[in-house]
C-alpha cells in the first residue's frame, strides 16, 4: 500500500511540475517594432508546438503538409480564409485548420490580431506558401 501511495504521489507531482497556466493577457511581443508578424514560442514537445502570434496586417495563403493547427483568437479582429470559405474572426473565436487546408488572414482591427496557435504534431517548419506550389501545366 505504501508503494502504491508513493507511486501515485510521485506521478501526481510530475504531472503538476510540467503543467502551467498561461496568462495570455501579459504575454507580449519582445518589441512593437516588428514589421508584420511576430511569433513567440510558448511550449513544444514531440506531440505539439504552441505559439502566440501577433499579426499587424496579414498572413499570405499557405498550408501545412504534416500537421493540424488550432487557432484561438485572443484579441483583435480579422477576415480569415480557410480553403474556399471567408469569414470574420474576433476575440474568443476558435478555428480548426486541418492538415493540407489553405488558410490566410487579414487583420481588420486597429490593434494587431493576437492568437494562440497549437500545432500537432510538433511544428517542423512545413509552412508551404501557395504561390510557391503553383505548377505550370505544359500543353505540348
Domain contains 85? yes
**Which residue in 127, 122, 120, 73 sits closest to 95, CA to CA?**
73
Domain contains 137? no
Identify the CATH number of the domain in which residue 49 sits. 2.60.120.10
Task: Return the higher-pLDDT residue of 107 and 140.
Answer: 107
Range of the domain at 63: 35-131
Percent of the chain having pLDDT more than 90?
A: 71
Best mean pLDDT range from 10-24, 25-39, 58-72: 58-72
Say how many domains are in the chain.
1
Domain contains 118? yes
Distance (Å, whole) CA 129 – CA 75: 25
Q: Does residue 63 contact residue 128 with C-beta atoms inside 8 Å?
A: yes
Domain contains 99? yes
**Which residue in 27, 45, 4, 14 sits closest to 115, CA to CA?**
27
DSSP labels for 66-115? S-EEEEEEEE-EEEEEETTEEEEEETT-EEEE-TT--EEEEE-SSSPEEE
For 63-112, how does the pLDDT look when each residue is reduced to its tens digit (9 = 90+)?
999 999 999 999 999 999 999 999 999 999 999 999 999 999 999 999 99
Task: Give this prediction's pTM.
Answer: 0.80
Helix (H) or strand (E) holding 3: helix 2-18
Distance (Å, whole) CA 24 – CA 22: 6
| DSSP-based helix, strand, coil % in the chain, nearest 5 | 15, 45, 40
Q: How confident is the model at residue 131 (pLDDT cuts 50, 70, 90)?
A: confident
Domain contains 18? no
**Which pLDDT score is estimated for 2?**
56
Amino acid at each position: 500500500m505504501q508503494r502504491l501511495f508513493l507511486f501515485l504521489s510521485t506521478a501526481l507531482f510530475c504531472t503538476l511540475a510540467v503543467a502551467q497556466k498561461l496568462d495570455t493577457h501579459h504575454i507580449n511581443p519582445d518589441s512593437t517594432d516588428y514589421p508584420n508578424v511576430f511569433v513567440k514560442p510558448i511550449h513544444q514537445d514531440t506531440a505539439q508546438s504552441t505559439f502566440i502570434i501577433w499579426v499587424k496586417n496579414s498572413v499570405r495563403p499557405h498550408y501545412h503538409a504534416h500537421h493540424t493547427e488550432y487557432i484561438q483568437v485572443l484579441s483583435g479582429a480579422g477576415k480569415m480564409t480557410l480553403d474556399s470559405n471567408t469569414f470574420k474572426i474576433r476575440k474568443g473565436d476558435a478555428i480548426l485548420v486541418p492538415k493540407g487546408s489553405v488558410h490566410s488572414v487579414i487583420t481588420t482591427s486597429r490593434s494587431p490580431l493576437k492568437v494562440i496557435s497549437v500545432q500537432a504534431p510538433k511544428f517542423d517548419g512545413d509552412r508551404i506558401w501557395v504561390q510557391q506550389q503553383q505548377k505550370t501545366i505544359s500543353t505540348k
